[in-house]
């Protein structure tokens, strides 16, 4: 075998061994003490990064469960990015695949991972209010309200913001959990709870950004089967103003 091909084969064998030392033998002629340095270095770097991004999962699973999960991820998943900040997203993709395969993980694990990842994702987001032309003093009923790219409405089956070692439900609650994650001007990421109605309003603003605030609220009144649409729109107008004051809405769209 040519030298270049031989080296490549050794590198692949070494990489396979580092990923799965229990089942993949190392290249011959390398002292195990030296191999152990690489095994520990690579695994501890990955495990430490994931533990920092998913501290609640780390706590809920305990030492044995956490390390078993990370070892599985390390052995089984083939990341599509060399960027360390993207590894938490790869971890979520892996958990999604495990859920689809029925690997027996806690039923809330995937949603909790997404909830913990969102803080990092918004913290690293390069989006800016300046990306969306808007009039901060625009009429929120006559104009089309603009949702801030740094305010994300989220919906979960499980109460992910409440999960802890003392609270690990086996069945999801009857009502979904609605949250708002927002990055403020000081680059601080904050979470808050939303009502089902306010979540749906923000969802509509994202899904149909060209509609006026009045049209959005009228459609929402029809969805909610409100007995008095005019009163519903008046209350919705107050909700829009509150969102504007908190920076969740930037203003109205400029064509």
Which residues share a beta bridge with 181?
152, 191
Where would I find the beta strands (DSSP E) of the chain?
A: 134-135, 145-147, 151-156, 177-183, 189-193, 249-253
Q: What pLDDT does residue 21 have?
A: 83
The dotted CATH code for 129-255 is 3.90.930.50
Annotated domain spans of the chain: 31-124, 129-255
- The kind and range of the H/E element at 222 are helix 213-224
pLDDT in tens, the chain (255 residues): 566 677 677 778 877 778 888 887 888 888 878 888 888 898 999 999 999 999 999 999 999 999 999 999 999 998 888 888 899 999 999 999 999 999 999 999 999 999 999 999 999 999 998 899 999 999 999 999 999 999 999 999 999 999 999 999 999 999 999 999 999 888 899 999 999 999 999 999 999 999 999 999 999 999 999 999 999 999 999 999 999 999 999 999 997
Question: C-alpha angle with apex 58: 55 to 60, nearest 5 degrees?
Answer: 110
The dotted CATH code for 31-124 is 1.10.150.690
Q: What pLDDT does residue 3 have?
A: 65
């Amino acid at each position: 075998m040519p030298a270049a091909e031989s080296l490549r084969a050794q590198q692949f064998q070494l990489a396979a061994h580092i990923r799965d030392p229990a089942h993949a033998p190392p290249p011959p002629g390398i002292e195990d003490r030296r191999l152990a340095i690489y095994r520990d270095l690579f695994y501890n770097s990955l495990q430490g990064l994931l533990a920092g991004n998913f501290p609640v999962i780390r706590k809920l699973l305990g030492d044995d469960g956490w390390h078993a999960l990370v070892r599985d991820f390390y052995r089984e998943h083939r990341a599509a990015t060399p960027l360390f900040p993207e590894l938490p997203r790869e971890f979520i993709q892996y958990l999604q695949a495990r859920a689809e395969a029925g690997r027996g993980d806690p039923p809330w694990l995937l949603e909790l991972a997404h909830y913990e990842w969102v803080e990092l994702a918004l913290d690293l987001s390069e989006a800016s209010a300046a990306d969306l032309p808007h009039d901060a003093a625009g009429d929120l009923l006559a104009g089309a309200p603009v949702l801030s790219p740094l305010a994300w409405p989220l919906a979960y089956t499980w109460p992910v913001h409440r999960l802890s070692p003392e609270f690990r439900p086996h069945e999801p609650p009857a009502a979904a959990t609605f949250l708002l994650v927002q990055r403020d001007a000081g680059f601080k990421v904050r979470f808050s709870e939303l009502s089902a109605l306010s979540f749906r309003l923000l969802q509509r603003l994202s899904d149909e950004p060209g509609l006026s605030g009045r049209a959005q609220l009228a459609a929402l009144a029809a969805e909610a089967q409100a007995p008095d649409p005019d009163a519903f729109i008046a209350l919705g107008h107050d909700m829009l103003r509150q969102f504007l004051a908190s920076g969740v809405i930037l203003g109205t769209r400029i064509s």
